[in-house]
Amino acid sequence: MEKAYMLISCEIGEEHSIYLQLKAIPEIKDCTITFGNYDIVVSLETETISQLNDIISTKIRKVGKIRSTITLRVTA
């Protein structure tokens, strides 16, 4: 099982719409809107590292109005 957290920075005012789009992705186990340097924190789980990379590249980073992401892969 591969796990990761993502810190997501959104365009101003787009947090809620991005949150709703992210919640629809089955591999996202938790999605929270935050205040601070990042607007959304996401928890992901997949079976393999390849699947994790694919979800990040093809599903999450393709969501419109996301300015930047940081991925924190869980190792223990």
Quote the tokens at residue 62.
Answer: 């393709």
Cβ atoms within 10 Å, residue 39: 22
Question: Do residues 40 and 65 make contact, with C-beta atoms less than 8 angstroms apart?
Answer: no
Exposed/middle/buried for residue 43 (C-beta within 10 Å: 0-12, 13-18, 19+): middle
**Mind listing the pLDDT tens digit for each residue in 27-48?**
999 999 999 999 999 999 999 9
Q: What is the CATH number of domain 2-73?
A: 3.30.70.920
Ranges of the chain with pLDDT below 70: none
Residue ranges per domain, the chain? 2-73
How does DSSP classify residue 38? Answer: -
Considering the entire predicted model, what is its pTM?
Answer: 0.93
Cα-based distances in Å from 24 to 31, 35, 43, 60: 10, 22, 13, 11
